Amino acid sequence: MPIQIQRRAAIGLLSGGAAAMLRGGTAVAAADTAGWMDFKSRFLLPEGRVLDNGNGNQSHSEGQGWGLSLAEHHNDRAAFDRMLLWTRRNLRRETDNLHAWRWRPDRQPAVADSNNATDGDLFIASALLRGGRRWSDPALTEEGTAIARDVLRLLVRRAGGRLVLLPGAQGFEHRTHVVVNPSYYSYPAIATVAEAVPDPAWLRVASDGLRLLRAARFGRWGLSPDWLAVSRTDRSVSPAQGWPARFSYDAVRVPLWLTWAGLADEVAVEAPLSFWSDTSHRQVPAWADLSTDSVAPYAAGQGVLLIGRFAARQRGILQDRFGPDASNEKRDYYDTALVLLARMAAAERGQAI
């Protein structure tokens, strides 16, 4: 795609996407409200910690950021304040405005690694900015702006002629390449923080991120890997060593973020839909191996199906394979969060799913 078209797509994302994420007051369906109440009852502890019951009851900046975003969407200030207080006290780093990525209840100290996770910081920042607008609270806006500035200051690098978004402040820069996580390009959150902290670098990060997603296509279905190596010397990309070469639990979020941001026509949405819709699968697989084209022997969760339904409908496709919601009784934190985020995204795109 020509550079000027890429830039127009990114400009549209950073203007229209920000408007969608910041407008507040989006109508919330009764089923969505019930889903949020269920999420709180199962995964939000009284002190404001979001519980990842699929990973030893840990907590993450990701979970706190998603929880804050959902609380703002549902106009739940009480839950928002509880989560924000816990996040400040337990995850905020001492040297900047970013957050440690993981808190473990079985360790002392509970935060042994102060490295951040960029997607968590982006969602925390965007939730604060949205909350500041919804509740006319300048302190929230100021806090979200400070986080956004540090994301731009500490986590943007140049590699192979592109500006890339590091997954964390440490551990992802190497002599020959930089490792990125395509699903950390949470475009709706990027649109929100770019509105609060105007800087041309956001536009470059957004447009170069789209270029990466168009290039990062591997295996039979042309899918993005969970972790991607970006060469420092040329424009080549490859699945990053040290992680399975899979389209899996991270990368399934890529089509959600793109569709939410109004970019459902991107190939990084089209390819997952083709994979999930492939009738050679007995069920929608949880992952695909991009080296061997083998797929998971077990099914994807309801969150993935709802992402597929949302993306398909935004592309004007009716797809029975992403059928009605199943019972939420057995969903873990991650699957449940994806369901609620897909519903939030659909509501902000004016769609019911």
Read off the amino acid at residue 291. Answer: S
> Is-catalytic flag, 278?
no
Q: What pLDDT, on a 0 to 100 scale, did the predictor assign at position 23?
A: 47
Kindly report the CATH number assigned to the domain that includes residue 66: 1.50.10.10
pLDDT band at 25 (very low <50, low <70, confident <90, very high): very low
Domain assignment present for 339: yes
pLDDT band at 1 (very low <50, low <70, confident <90, very high): very low
What is the DSSP annotation of 44-80?
A: B-TTSPBPBTTTTTBEEHHHHHHHHHHHHHTT-HHHH
In which domain, by residue range, is 268 found? 3-348
> Is-catalytic flag, 250?
no
Domain assignment present for 34: yes
Q: Over the stretch 150-192, which tens digit does the pLDDT of each residue have? A: 999 999 999 989 999 999 999 999 999 999 999 999 999 999 9
Domain assignment present for 171: yes
Domain assignment present for 173: yes
Mean pLDDT score, 63-79: 98
Q: Which two tokens stand for residue 28?
A: 């919330």
In whole angstroms, give the CA distance from residue 71 to residue 67: 6
Three-state SS at 151: helix
Of the listed 62, 195, 289, 348, which one is catalytic?
Answer: 62
In whole angstroms, give the CA distance from residue 60 to residue 65: 9
Domain assignment present for 182: yes
Token pair 């990842």 is at which residue? 52
Q: What pLDDT, on a 0 to 100 scale, did the predictor assign at position 31?
A: 76
Residue 16 gets which letter from DSSP?
I
Collect all residues with Cβ–Cβ distance below 8 Å to 340 and sequence separation of at least 6. Answer: 32, 35, 36, 39, 70
Residue 14 gets which letter from DSSP?
I
Task: List the one residue out of 14, 92, 103, 99 whose CA is nearest residue 58.
Answer: 103
Domain assignment present for 353: no
The count of structural domains within the chain is 1
In whole angstroms, give the CA distance from residue 137 to residue 41: 27
Of the listed 52, 72, 119, 335, which one is catalytic?
Answer: 119
Q: At what angle do helices 253-260 and 187-196 cross, to 10 degrees?
A: 50
Q: What pLDDT, on a 0 to 100 scale, did the predictor assign at position 195?
A: 97
Collect all residues with Cβ–Cβ distance below 8 Å to 146 and sequence separation of at least 6. Answer: 97
328/250: higher pLDDT: 250
Q: Over the stretch 257-296, which tens digit does the pLDDT of each residue have? A: 999 999 999 999 999 999 999 999 999 999 999 999 999 9
Task: List the one residue out of 237, 138, 231 whose CA is nearest residue 182.
Answer: 237
- Per-chain mean pLDDT for the chain: 92
Domain assignment present for 270: yes
The number of beta carbons lying within 10 Å of the beta carbon of residue 215 is 15
